[in-house]
Amino acid sequence: MFFRLLFFIGLVGCFSFNTVLGIEPETTLSGYDLFENIQKSVQTIHTGQVRIETSAIEGNLTPIKMQWTIYFDKNKNRADVVRHGHKDYLCYNCYGKMTRSFYTTTPPVVGKMALEFTDGENPETGRHLNYIPDPRWFGFIPMDISNSQYYFPAKMYDISVKRQQSEVLLVKTEMFSGIECWRVDYTLDTVNHSIWLDKLNHYHVVCVENRFVSDNIQFVDRVLTQRALYDGTIWFPHKLNYKRTENGVVTCSEETTIEVISLNKPLPPDTFSPKNIVEPNTPVAWHLDRDRPVPDGELIWDGEQVIDHFSMAMRDVPKFGAARIVFILVGIALICLGIGLKLRKYL
């Protein structure tokens, strides 16, 4: 009895001592609470413009360098991609809901350059219009930038009731590169995920890793993230380092540098329009499952909108002033009078 009492007194005393010092026992958050924090941090960023430079290496091949300028505003996304000295313009939801537009300055092999419109859900016509990565999810997904547009981060960080009933997220404290982190481990389908979240900086992901086996090869995809604070409130990636290993050997990697131009600030009115990109008189390839601007005939971009080629041609017809029209009518009348006089001589 005496020892039980002594243990109880010691326990109370220890708790009181920690309270006096301001030290409280650490509470381990659930993985779903942590994932909810991630989603909230992403959702607080509504609009932005970022400039991205990537250098990707696959095997022993020459590095592939690309420059991206990405604009986003809620559900609209635009990407200007520079590669091989030419620029691609891609835009999602910019010409109506669930549409993708594409234009490139690369000289066409056959035919004329065209501004192309397709439905966002059409896998046939939208095959090359599908790659606008969302910068708000950079660093949260274990994938290089060039392929991240095919990845669905919302599935990774799903906190729905259905998932809570079917998935187990294991959480523990772990040091990662000198940073005290929450580490969350879970399995989705046949892939094992590990996510390290900085405890101090709003639980931002400092590393994310996927592990899976295919054809007896152990694949590991890992992204390391360096973040910077913007406007004193927004943590956003500054550098990303991606590596894939196969049985421990690095097979591809990518270094990414991100320059933030603006976050949560209004974008110029014509940001999501082809106005500043596509030259007037550019043919339009219309693959949308909806009414064309005109039922038949060729379509063309006139610098402001999509119209039919005939209307554009009529615009280019020289316009005559009233005085010139009068002179033309007088001339026609004199010609007719002369012909009439000639005919009278022979009657």
Residues 6+ apart with CB under 8 A from 95: 101, 117, 306
Q: Measured in Å, how far apart are the chain's first and last C-alpha atoms? A: 147
Any alpha helices (H) in the chain, and if so which ranges? 2-20, 31-43, 145-148, 153-156, 161-166, 309-315, 322-345
Indicate the SS3 state at residue 309: helix
pLDDT above 70 for 317: no
pTM, entire model? 0.76
- For residues 286 and 297, the answer to whether their CB atoms sit within 8 Å is no
Q: What is the mean pLDDT of the chain?
A: 80
pLDDT digits (tens, 9 = 90+) for 78-136: 999 887 778 889 888 887 777 888 898 888 777 777 888 887 766 555 454 456 888 99
DSSP string, 47-63: EEEEEEEEEEEETTSPP
Task: Count CA atoms within 13 Å of residue 195 on its CB side.
Answer: 25
Structure confidence at residue 345 as a pLDDT band (50, 70, 90): low
Please identify, in words, the CATH class of the domain defined by 32-263. Answer: mainly beta
For the chain, domain boundaries? 32-263
